[in-house]
Amino acid sequence: MPTIQSFPLPDLGEGLTEADLLTWLVAVGDTIELNQNIAEVETAKAAVELPSPFAGVVLALHVSEGDTVEVGVPIIDIRVGGDSADDAPAPELAAAVADASPAEDSEERVPVLVGYGVAKEGSSRRGGRGTAPVTASPNGQNGKPLAAPPVRKIAKDNAVDLAEVPATGSRGDVTRDDVESYLQGEPTAAEQDPRKRGREERTPIKGVRKHTADAMVRSAFTAPHVTEFVTVDVTETLTLLESLRSSTHFADVRLTPLALVCKAVLVALRSNPSLNSSWDEAAQEIVTKHYVNLGIAAATPRGLMVPNIKDAHELSLVDIARALADLTRTAKEGKSSPADLADGTITITNVGVFGVDAGTPILNPGEAAILCFGSIRRMPWEHEGAIALRSVTTLSLSFDHRLVDGQQGSQFLALVGRLLSTPMDMIALS
């Protein structure tokens, strides 16, 4: 006999208590397999796909795309068991699903990463307790155009506002054909006449961007920032880079200047451990890390992320180059996991890829320092007593003055610059 299983939003790690549902990957009536991805959600840390813990037929989707959902709140009902996918659910089970309400939880508690936290009935989060289920028959009571989740996904992928699409569905809903016809049709009057376009566009602050904004404000007003600059000749580093690229050891690796900057930072930290520490306010202690989880700031479609290379101090240059390639690819695809973003100890931000020479970066919360790597330019430079065209870059270092004093920060930055000017020293010290 078939049963109905409700799947609540699970713990996604890092103490996060909610997530935004970005996209449903299934629709009501679909037959799904165990561990098949059913939805993509975005936490304050990253976007992740949710696998189904059940195999069966989707009966109901309780959350709409774009809603914010608390951990522990049911998001989907799945019929498990039965002779075929076409079997109708037992009447008593269907009634149980229709009558079930998360608000009936007598303890009124929402699971979090460690233990439980009490959730108040008056919570203003969308998609929380008491959210009306989204079933096979959209009701449109929330003001949104009627459309099935797959249709909403097509519209979202093509930046189509469903409110502008003429609906031809039997229930007044927008169908796949409606969206495709709209995409192939003529521009709307607003698109043809710039005077009719809206003067403003509002984007909800949520997910990764909200987390980044909160973290940067916290960092700027908690840690006393100091920033120093040094401009260095990196001609010899680029020469070494070209030589290494032709080596068989780097045949299958994309070696970039950033990899050598990473190596220089790791070498410089050995004699400057204060740059790899954190401030424990509760314990009133400075925590010096004897490992380096090297963060790399990455601009992604979801906003700024800082995934880190775990135990980077143990890696060779080849391994660092491979880790950089994997890390940046995963971040740009929006697939960095919460674990990838956690426990960083020091960060590098590469603004040179945007053609920017230097900046005053804000510390990643919980870290003592962040190094900014600017663009490499051919410039007139003094070399061996004469003026010559050389490859020059500017490095800037922001650090937490509670943890790092001016002498320590200056020595570290100067050493990184020297290692990049004379890379043979970096190899000798590695």
Phi/psi for 131 (5° steps) reads: -70, 135
Token pair belonging to 143: 């003001």
Taking a C-beta distance cutoff of 8 angstroms, is the pair 21, 73 a contact? Answer: no
Residue 184 burial by Cβ neighbours in a 10 Å radius (0-12, 13-18, 19+): exposed
Token pair belonging to 97: 């699903």
CB atoms within 10 A of CB 159: 6
Do the strands 346-350 and 294-296 form a parallel or antiparallel pair, or are they unpaired? parallel
Q: How many angstroms separate the Cα of 371 from the Cα of each of 94, 111, 251, 276, 366?
A: 58, 38, 29, 12, 15
CA distance 417 to 411: 10
Residue whose token pair is 């510390």:
363
Phi/psi for 57 (5° steps) reads: -120, 135
Of 368, 379, 428, 362, the closest CA to residue 402 belongs to: 368
CA distance 136 to 222: 49
Residue 263 burial by Cβ neighbours in a 10 Å radius (0-12, 13-18, 19+): buried
CA distance 337 to 362: 22
Q: Which amino acid is at 35?
A: N
Taking a C-beta distance cutoff of 8 angstroms, is the pair 362, 398 a contact? Answer: yes
Between vectors from CA 101 to CA 93 and to CA 29, what angle results, nearest 5°?
Answer: 50
Q: Which residues contact 91 (CB under 8 A, 6 or more apart)?
A: none
Taking a C-beta distance cutoff of 8 angstroms, is the pair 288, 277 a contact? Answer: yes
Residues 150, 152, 153, 154, Cα dihedral to 10°: 90
Catalytic-residue membership of 249:
no
Do the strands 346-350 and 369-373 form a parallel or antiparallel pair, or are they unpaired? parallel
Token pair belonging to 404: 């790092």
In three-state secondary structure terms, 76 is strand
> Which residues are tagged catalytic?
401
